[in-house]
Structure 1
C-alpha cells in the first residue's frame, strides 16, 4: 500500500462545501473499503475530494474521526453560531416620531444595529411612511365639508343608494407655483459618468411662475370616444415688462416675461374675465352650452367673490350661464387640482429642463396638454370616493384615499361614472348636521 498524499492540488484547496451526515457516512464507508491495515489506498483521498467538491483536508479529518471513534457524523448542531438577540419590535410604539425619521435614528433608540432593524423592514413588520401636513380643521369647517359633500349627491327620493352627480358642469380652478428646478434632485448615473453640476445665484429664490389652471370633467360618447377633454386651459400669471437697461442678454427696452408675484383680487378678476371665461365659452360642448356652469374656487382672499358684478356681466355674455362657487375652507381634497391633477402635471414638468420663464411656461403647457383625459376622468372618481370617506369621519380630513382599482375596471371596459353612497351613511350625516343645529 502506498502512503497518503501530502500535497493538496490548487483545485481542491479552494473548494469549500458543507457535507451533511449522510454524505459523511458514505465517504466513511468508501474510505474503509479502500483501506488496508489502517492505511488508505493511493488516490482515494483525491478522488473523494473531487467527487464531493471539498478540500482533501476534509476527507482526512473524516478518516481520522472514523479511525478514532467509528462515527463520521459532524458535530455541528442547528443552534450553532452566534445567538440571536431578541428584539421587542413593539417598543417602536413608545419611541417619539421625531426619532423614527430614519432607520439609523430608530435603531439607536432601540439599541440594535441598523442591519438588524432592516430585517423588520424586509419582512414587512416595519413600513416606510411619508407624512404630509394637512390643514387644521375647525368644527365649522367639518360641517361645511359635510354639507358640500351632500350637495354633490343627486336629488332623488328613490329607495336605492344615492349617487353622486356627474360633475360635468363644474370647472375646478386653482393656482400653483411651478419651479424651474428643485433644490435637490436624484439621478441615475453610470459608474464612470461625471456627476451633474447645477448652480443658481440663490437657491432660496429659484425661478418660478404661478399658473392658473382650469379643468372640467371630460366627456365621452357611448363608444368611449372623447368628445370633450375637459382641459379649459393653463394660464401663466405673467406680464411683459420692458428692460430698463442693457445687458449681455438683451438690449434696453426689450420686452421680458416677468412673473406676477403679488396676486390681488384685481389680478384674479382680470384672468377670470379675460382668460378663463373666453376659454370656457370656446371649448364647452355646444350641445351643453345652455346648462349652468359652475367655476369652483377656494376661499383665498385674492379670489373674486361669487356675487361680483363685473364677473357676472362678462359671464352672461353669449347666452351662457356661468357662476362662481366656493369649496369649503381648508379643503384642498375637494378640488381635483389639489387632490391629484397638480401632482401629475408637476411630475411631467420636472422631467424637462427649463432655464427661463418662457421655457418654463412652454414646458408646463406641454405637460398640461399631454395629460391623459382618461386619467383626468379617474380623478373625479377619486374626488367622489374622498367625499364618501369625509362623511364617514364626520367631515374630518384624517383619512386615507381609498384604492378603487379604477385601472382594472377601465381595462374591463366598465369604468364607473358615478359612485354610489350608502343610504344609511347619508341619513346619518343629515341627522348629525340637524342635531348640531
Structure 2
C-alpha cells in the first residue's frame, strides 16, 4: 500500500468498508464454484465526521504523515480502507459535506399518529370493535391494531355489576366492618379468620357449553358434539356448602372445608317402556322449580347433617353461621323448622343473609363455582346422571389450598368495598397468593389501613 503522504493515493472500497462481491478465481466463482455475499456496513454521519476530525488533528499542511490512517483505524475500530476513503472524499469535495450520507432523510410512508384524546371523545357504544373505532378515527383497522400492540390503547372486557342502592352500599360497609376481629389492635384493624362461617349458594351445571375450544393436529378430524336444541341443553341445579380449611402448626391439613354439594334431583320409576329403558326402571329427574319448601328441605335434611358430621370436633361448642344470599326462595333466618334442627343435639348453628346484590361477599360466587365448573367441563358428561356424577367428581378433585386462597381474596375485596364506601366498581385485587404460598409466607388474615376503616365508619354516621 502507498504511504499516507498524498491525499488522493489511498484506495478505498466505498462508504463503509464491506461490499457485496465475488471471491475466488476467474469469473468470481472460486475453486468450488460458490459465490460469497458480504454484507455492507453503513457508517453514520457522526462517526464519519469524528474520523475526519481525528485525521485533521494529525495532518500537517493538509497532508497526512505515514501510518496516520492506520493509527486512527486502530483507535476508532473502523476498517483502514474506510478511514482512507473518508479522507479521500473530504479532500475531493471540500470538507465535511463530501462525507455526509446522500440518502434522503424523509422518505417512505409517513407514520399515522394516534391521538388518545380523540379516542376519548368517541361514545363508548362506538368503541366495542376495532373497526368501529378505526372508522371514527379516520384510520385503517390494521393501523389501529398496530397502535394497540404498541400500547397506545388497551382492550377492556367490561363485566356487568349489580345495581346498588344507597341502603345496599351502607349494608355492605357495615358487613365488612363487622368482619373485623374484635381483639385486633385499633391501630392495625385485622379481619377475622372466618373459620365459623359456612358459605352456601346454588348454581346450574350444564351438560356442555354451546362453544368449546379444542387444539387439534392439522390432519385430525374435528370432534362432534350434538344436542337436540342448543338453547335447552340439559342442566342440573346444585347447592354447595363450603367452609374455610384448617391447618395445624406444621401446615398439615386437618379439615378440608368441603361440607358437600347436592343436586336438586329425584328418582322416579319409568311409567312405560322406551328404547332407552324398561318400565319401572328408576330414572333421575330434575326438580324444575326450587321453591322455599325445597330449600328448607335441603338445608334441614342435607346441609345441617353434613355440617354436624364433618365439623372439627374441637370447635363443636362454638356458634356456626350459614351464610346465604337474599334469593326469594331462601328461608328466613328465623325459620322455626330450620332453627329447631340447627339447635338440636347441643349444636348452635345460625342462618345469616349477606348484603343484597353482593355476590362478591360469598366465596362461591367469588371464585369457587367458576373453578369447579372448569374442572367439571373437562370431564364431558353425557347425561343427567353423568352430570351429577361428574360434579361430585370435580368437587372431590377441587384443591383445598385454592379454597383457602379464595377466603383471602374475599378479605381483599372487603378492603376495596370499605375504601369505595360500599361500591362494587373495583377490580378484584391480586396479591400473588400462589407465590406467597410457595414461599411459606401466605398470611392467614389480612389487615386494613386504619384511615380506610375510620373513613368507612364516618360514612355510616353521615348517611
Shorter-chain TM-score range = 0.7 to 0.9
What CA distance in whole angstroms lies between the structure 1 residues aligned with 2:110 and 2:150?
20
Match of residue 22 from structure 1: 16
What CA distance in whole angstroms lies between the structure 1 residues aligned with 2:174 and 2:368?
24
Asked if the contact 1:238/1:259 (under 8 Å) is kept, the reply is yes
Match of residue 406 from structure 1: 433
- What TM-score, normalized to structure 1? 0.84
1:298-343 C-alpha deviation (Å, 9 max, x unpaired): 0011001100110011111221110000000000000000001111
Match of residue 51 from structure 1: 36
The 1:52–1:285 alpha-carbon spacing in structure 2 relative to 1, beyond 3 Å, is same
What CA distance in whole angstroms lies between the structure 1 residues aligned with 2:288 and 2:14?
76
Unaligned runs of 5+ in 2: 1-12, 40-88
What CA distance in whole angstroms lies between the structure 2 residues aligned with 1:421 and 1:411?
24
The 1:379–1:243 alpha-carbon spacing in structure 2 relative to 1, beyond 3 Å, is same
SS state at 1:164 partner: coil
1:92-151 C-alpha deviation (Å, 9 max, x unpaired): 222233332232333233232222122122222222222221110000000000110011
Matched, 1:343 2:370: yes
What CA distance in whole angstroms lies between the structure 2 residues aligned with 1:184 and 1:76?
55
Asked if the contact 2:20/2:37 (under 8 Å) is kept, the reply is no
Unaligned runs of 5+ in 1: 1-18, 35-40, 55-65
Match of residue 456 from structure 2: 429
Match of residue 123 from structure 1: 150
Matched, 1:207 2:234: yes
Match of residue 420 from structure 1: 447
Which residue, 155, 179, 198 being the options, matches 1:171? 198
Match of residue 59 from structure 1: none
SS state at 2:16 partner: helix
Asked if the contact 1:172/1:336 (under 8 Å) is kept, the reply is yes
Match of residue 10 from structure 1: none
Matched, 1:107 2:131: no
1:45: Cα distance to partner? 8.9
Task: Report how many aligned residue pairs link the two structures.
Answer: 395
The 1:292–1:121 alpha-carbon spacing in structure 2 relative to 1, beyond 3 Å, is same
Match of residue 424 from structure 2: 397
Match of residue 7 from structure 1: none
SS state at 2:414 partner: helix
Matched, 1:93 2:93: no
Asked if the contact 2:20/2:38 (under 8 Å) is kept, the reply is no
Instruction: Answer with 1 or 2: which has the greater Rg.
Output: 2
SS state at 1:232 partner: strand
Asked if the contact 2:191/2:411 (under 8 Å) is kept, the reply is yes
Matched, 1:148 2:133: no
Describe how 1:7-406 pairs up with structure 2 within 5 A: 21-23=15-17, 43=27, 50-52=35-37, 76-156=103-183, 158-406=185-433
Match of residue 60 from structure 2: none
- What TM-score, normalized to structure 2? 0.79
1:27: Cα distance to partner? 6.5
1:403-436 C-alpha deviation (Å, 9 max, x unpaired): 1111222112111111111222212211211122
SS state at 1:173 partner: strand
SS state at 1:408 partner: helix
What CA distance in whole angstroms lies between the structure 2 residues aligned with 1:432 and 1:87?
42
1:42-92 C-alpha deviation (Å, 9 max, x unpaired): 5359899933258xxxxxxxxxxx9xx999998644543322233324322
1:347-397 C-alpha deviation (Å, 9 max, x unpaired): 111111111011011111111111111110010000001011001011010
What CA distance in whole angstroms lies between the structure 2 residues aligned with 1:112 and 1:253?
69
The 1:96–1:352 alpha-carbon spacing in structure 2 relative to 1, beyond 3 Å, is farther
Q: How well do the aligned residues superpose, as a CA RMSD in angstroms?
A: 2.8
| Range 179-188 or range 273-282, more displaced | 179-188
What CA distance in whole angstroms lies between the structure 1 residues aligned with 2:427 and 2:167?
22
What CA distance in whole angstroms lies between the structure 1 residues aligned with 2:20 and 2:252?
75
Asked if the contact 1:156/1:162 (under 8 Å) is kept, the reply is no
Deviating runs (4+, > 6 A) in structure 1? 45-49, 69-74
What CA distance in whole angstroms lies between the structure 1 residues aligned with 2:101 and 2:355?
75
| Range 230-239 or range 314-323, more displaced | 314-323
What CA distance in whole angstroms lies between the structure 2 residues aligned with 1:42 and 1:233?
88
Match of residue 42 from structure 2: none
Asked if the contact 2:245/2:404 (under 8 Å) is kept, the reply is yes
Asked if the contact 2:189/2:450 (under 8 Å) is kept, the reply is yes
1:274-295 C-alpha deviation (Å, 9 max, x unpaired): 1100100000000001110000
What CA distance in whole angstroms lies between the structure 2 residues aligned with 1:205 and 1:84?
51
1:228-278 C-alpha deviation (Å, 9 max, x unpaired): 000000111111122233211011222211111211000000000111001
